[in-house]
Amino acid sequence: MKAVRSSLGIVAMVLGSMLFPIAGTAGAAPGGAGFPVTVKAANGSVTIAKRPTAIVSLSATATEMLYAIGAGSQVKAVDKYSNYPKGTPMTSLDGYSVNAEAIAKYHPDLIVVAYDPPALAAQLAKLKIPVIYDPAAANLAVAYHQYLGLGAATGHLLGAQREVAHLRTVVTSIVKATPRPPAGTTYYYELDPTYYSVTSGTFMGQLLGLLGLHSIADKAGVNSNGGYPQLTAEFILQANPTYIFLADHGCCKATPATVAARPGWSALSAVANHRIVTLSDDIASRWGPRIVILLQEVANELKRQQG
Helices (H), the chain: 2-8, 60-68, 100-104, 118-125, 140-154, 157-177, 203-209, 233-239, 249-252, 256-260, 269-272, 281-284, 291-306
Residue 125 has what pLDDT? 78
- The residue ranges of every structural domain in the chain are 2-172, 180-306
Shortest CA distance to 33 belongs to which of 50, 57, 45?
Answer: 50
Burial label, 268 (beta-carbon count in 10 A; 0-12, 13-18, 19+): buried
Q: In the chain, which residues have pLDDT < 70?
A: 1-33, 117-119, 221-224, 307
pLDDT tens by residue, 106-153: 999 999 999 876 667 777 777 889 999 999 999 999 999 999 999 999
- β 186-190/44-48 pair status: unpaired
CA distances, 158 to each of 238, 246, 252 (Å):
49, 36, 40
Residue 144 has what pLDDT? 98
On the question of a common fold for 2-172 and 180-306, the answer reads yes
pLDDT tens by residue, 179-194: 999 999 999 999 999 9
CB half-sphere exposure, 301, CA atoms < 13 A: 22
DSSP 218-235: GGG-TTGGGG--B--HHH
Residue 22 has what pLDDT? 40
Q: How far apart are CA 290 and CA 307, in angstroms?
A: 25
Q: How far apart are CA 18 and CA 137, in angstroms?
A: 9
Residue 123 has what pLDDT? 77
Residue 33 has what pLDDT? 52
- CATH of region 180-306: 3.40.50.1980
The fold of 2-172 is Rossmann fold (3.40.50)
Q: How far apart are CA 174 and CA 245, in angstroms?
A: 18
